[in-house]
Chains A and B, each alone.
Chain A
């Protein structure tokens, strides 16, 4: 006798977050989230959107990027706009994740006007939706991110990263300019939940939040990120709206700083690919990646998984 499959039925659903705007036909749009089941359990509920990959670019030529990464983009990397252009036109990037590294006090210390100008130029150059994140220096981010947000007003970008200690300025800008926000917590589900509540208390709806759970690469805490993401997803699917946000995972930066990537560039590509593929299993909706070859492999892996 055949044993029937026991299928779980969930009451919750992950919010759908839209990047880009419908009415602007010259630009593309991307949707993430919307699942009513755990990752890849197609029989148990809807999975309306595949995980998406964003190419990570900077507003300045990269500093301490691995030689392998630099060679894959060539000379173009010296000009961030040309770098963006290659990602979109040569590698067919659906999304770009712009890190405003050049605004960091140690990496050029660009001011808000210059930062905003770069965002405007980038929006003119490429027509894919943008994720824009600060350099990680809280004081500086609070100065330049409002300018970047305003430069992209109405484009419904994804802007980050809000943290429990520094979220108010960013939330206010995102609200004013009609974007979505990244809420970052240090591999800690309690803080992830708390931050989502703090953000929504300021009037930005829970449906416009994407959680950055903070991940580690393979061998560097990947399994901790996995279990936090799984636990958040289980709670969300059981009805906890405060955790029902899609996940963004910064894979490239984590994979390329491992010693395995540093000793052998081929290994770096493998590290980035395996880290990203594993995170898809734990529910990642957006993967921010660096190496075109790793991105191509993960892209085709996603296609295979979603063939059904």
Chain B
């Protein structure tokens, strides 16, 4: 499971302040802390507070690269912001993200190809968020088809079914779990699957419990990657245990430590 740490995001006050003051220590500490907790990659998002994301994104990439060679997940809805990050990236990158809209795909797939980046495709389009699994599959198929026509390696494509908050769209969650398994059948070799985990508990009270319960179910459906808070220790323990039960690691009494040693 590829664990992408979500905490370098201008949505959080400490990171917003660090971006504003160009205080690299805070961002670097946040990067290292997430890695120590088990993050395999780091999401980087300037967030709404950034006045100039075209400059802030490459700054974040550069200062994080000073302390780690883990993959960086460049998170913006604006392709130009992602491109500015890609230009200075030395680490492996993941573009976060394209929608299923052709005009977005026509820009972001060539960018991914040019910078040898992986790509997250979220199954929404200009019409909005799909209401059922058929619509999600259709949008996923659009992304897979366009990517493969343009020569992008499908095993570097991460499909995101768009997780809805359980207190908003309760009826959809089961569909989302089903579609994770179905995405894998869209091509051979299979595309990867990814979720932005925290969405599931947006606005709810028992956030951590909801997050880890959903994650367990998604892992059982074949989820390959998640953007999450690696500092949530119970969440990480649950994830490691779910993978253990699926025979992805060999059991030993200290399996939690063993995973973290790996």
Contact = CB atoms under 8 A, between A and B. Distances in A.
Q: Do A and B come from one complex?
A: yes
Interface of A: 189-191, 193-194, 197-198, 200-201, 206, 231-232, 235, 239-243
Nearest to A188: B252
B249 interface: yes
B262 A193 contact: no
B252 A240 contact: no
A47 to B, nearest CB: 23
A167 to B, nearest CB: 14
B252 A191 contact: yes
A197 B254 contact: yes
Contacts of A194: 252-254
B261 interface: yes
A239 B250 contact: no
Given A200-B261, A201-B257, A240-B250, 11 more contacts: A190-B251, A190-B252, A190-B253, A191-B252, A193-B251, A193-B258, A197-B252, A197-B261, A198-B254, A239-B262, A240-B249
A118 B248 CA distance: 47
Interface centre among B250, B254, B258, B262 (most CB of A within 10 A): B250
At the interface, is chain A mostly helix, strand, loop or mixed? helix
Interface residues of B, number: 10
B121 to A, nearest CB: 25
A241 B253 contact: no
A242 B251 contact: no
Contacts, number: 38
A189 B250 contact: yes
A113 B251 CA distance: 41
B261 A242 contact: yes
24 contacts: A189-B250, A190-B250, A190-B251, A190-B252, A190-B253, A193-B250, A193-B252, A194-B253, A194-B254, A197-B254, A197-B257, A197-B258, A200-B261, A206-B261, A231-B250, A232-B250, A235-B249, A239-B262, A240-B262, A241-B261, A241-B262, A242-B252, A242-B261, A243-B250
Contacts of A198: 254
A189 B250 CA distance: 8
Contacts of A232: 250
Contacts of A241: 261-262
Interface centre among A189, A201, A240 (most CB of B within 10 A): A240
Contacts of A242: 252, 258, 261-262
A231 B247 CA distance: 12
Contacts of A190: 250-253
B224 to A, nearest CB: 15
Given A240-B262, A241-B262, A235 B254 contact: no
Contacts of A243: 250
